[in-house]
Structure formats: C-alpha cells, structure tokens
Amino acid sequence: MAWRRASWRYLATLLLPIPFFIISLFVGTYSIPPEAAVTVLVLKIFPFLGQPTTPQIYETIIFDIRLPRIILAIAGGIALSVSGASLQGLFRNPLVDSYILGVSAGAGLGAALAIAFLPELPGSAQVLSFALGFAAFLTTYFVAKNRGETPVVSLVLAGIIVTALFSAALSIIKFFTDVNRLAGVVYWLMGSLAVSGWEEVLQVLPLITVAFIVLFMMRWRINVLSLGEEEAKALGVKIERDRFIVLAASTLMVSAFVSVAGVIGWIGLVVPHTVRMLLRTPDNRVVIPISASLGAVFMLLADDLARSIASFELPVGVITTVIGAPFFLYLLKRRGGVVWK
C-alpha cells in the first residue's frame, strides 16, 4: 500500500500545473470570471459543444494574450528547473544552476546589442540573444577542455571567467547606448513575459521540448555521472560524450527561453533544491520530472503575481528573486534539508 500511495502522490505532483494553468487564465488586470474563462476555453477546444455566450473580448484576451503567455511560462519553468537539476547532478553540487555556464551573460549581451544598435530589425534581440547565449556555453566548454577531458572544476572556473567577460562587454554596451534605448535593455535584463505571443511560443517551444526529451532520457546517466569520473568509467559510461550532451541540452533550453523572456533567475536553483529536500533523494530519475512540474508551477505563480499584484506589470524576474532568494536562504539554514550523497 505504501508504494501505491507514493505513486499517487507522484502522479498528483506531475499533474499539479493543470489547476494553476486554469487559474492563470482569469488572473490579470482585466477581470474575467472563472466560469467564463473555463467556458471559453472548453468551447474553443470542443466547438461541437456549442457557441460561447460570453463577450468576444473574453476570447480575444484568453487566446491572443494570456494563453500564449501561460504556455511560455510553463515552458520556461520547465527549462530553467530541469536544466538546473541536470547541471546540479552533473556538477555534484546543489548550488549550481544553468547560468553558471555563462548563458545569461551571453544572452544579455546579444539582446543589448540588438536593442541598442538594431532596433529596426524585427527579431534581432531573440536571434542574437540565443546565438550569444549558446556561444558563451561553447566558449566555456572549449576553454575548460584539456587533453580531451573537461574536469568539473575547470568548467565552473571557465564559466565564471566567461560570465565576467560577457558581463563586462554588456556594461560597455550599456554605457554607449542612447538613454531611450537603455531603458529597453535594462527592462529586458529584468526578465518579463509581457511581450509573449504565439510567435514567441512557436520559436522556443520546439527547442525546449527537444532538449527536455534529451535530458529526460539521460536522467539515469546523470545519476552515473554524479558518482564521479572513476565510478562512471568503471560502469562503462562515455563521460565526455554524455557530459557534453547534458550541457548542450541544458544550454539549448535555457538560451531559447532567455532569448524571448530575458534573464529570470532563481528557478533553476530553488526548485531542484526543494524537490530533493521534499523527496529526500538525489535520484534524477525522480528529481528531473518533479522539478519540471514544480518549475512550471513556480513560473506560473510568479507571472500571475507580476501581472496582478499592482495596476502596472512588474518584471517577472523581480518576482522570482523576491520569492526565491528568501526561500533559498531558509533552505540553506535548514540542516539536513537536502539529501545529496
């Protein structure tokens, strides 16, 4: 009976984003009754059930504004939390997140270049942000690689160096940017889903989905890699190949999301940490899917607060920091809160 109860709890946790998805449909500055939001959604998906009697503006707000934003929030929460969980397992350190590879600094530099110097070119911020975010990861990886191997310590140090260099370049760009355009750069760096639409969803959802599938299939290999290089070699694992796949997939999903939403921190750090604390296990076969579910919920809650807590919209990156930082401090002070060994 115990395993059945555990299975039901596991399934319930995986399905947790569904009620928060529905709640997010009627949260915002424009009030939509919950029953009206559900009715519009159901009748849009199943038109043979009849025609909605609700105002047309409800359908416009839900399907053209809120639904793509909610989908992007779910995808972003999954991307940040799963990449964080994967890298924490790979680096054998629960204090690592996806930005340690220099992805955020590279993406920020790309977006700043586009906003400052290519504002008339549509999509330039997304393209340059994604390209430089991935370029930062490749730079980190090849700087750390020595004689065909990439030690974990070298990856961390290379990531710190690359992040510092890209951050310095970003500061230079901000210094020479026109004041009016500088506001756009600063707002982008705060992270927001305010400009989310179906175009952005179609741009990043395939990349995040492919990367998530790769990491989900690799989760038992991440367990082996977390044992250490000697143990992994003894078990016949191709360390360099598997490590590069995990790093590349994590970078792909994070840089894709960051390219359209800006830098949103703490989710990749707090969510996997919380999952390990609650489950009392570092087993990535469980940690990765549960992190995906709770990461989606965390991002949905943060975005709901960002667009409803005040008469104007707050950057969602600020909300995740305000929630995540104090909670993480609590986790760090709680002895025995995380099982890693």
Instruction: Render pLDDT for 270-286 as a digit per residue (tens, 0 to 9).
Output: 899 889 888 888 889 99
Residue 28: predicted pLDDT:
82
Hey, is 146 helix, strand or coil?
strand
Residue 1: predicted pLDDT:
46
Burial group, residue 146, by CB count within 10 angstroms (0-12, 13-18, 19+): exposed
Q: Are 86 and 250 in contact (CB under 8 A)?
A: yes
Below-70 pLDDT ranges, the chain: 1-6, 332, 334-341
DSSP 8-class letter at 314: P
Give the whole-angstrom CA distance, residue 98 versus residue 84. 5
Q: How far apart, in Å, are the Cα atoms of 81 and each of 23, 77, 131, 135, 137? A: 21, 6, 21, 21, 18
Residue 2: predicted pLDDT:
44
- Rounded to 5°, the CA angle 277-283-286 comes to 85
Task: Go through the domains of the chain in sequence order and give each one's CATH number.
Answer: 17-333 (1.10.3470.10)
Residue 80: predicted pLDDT:
95
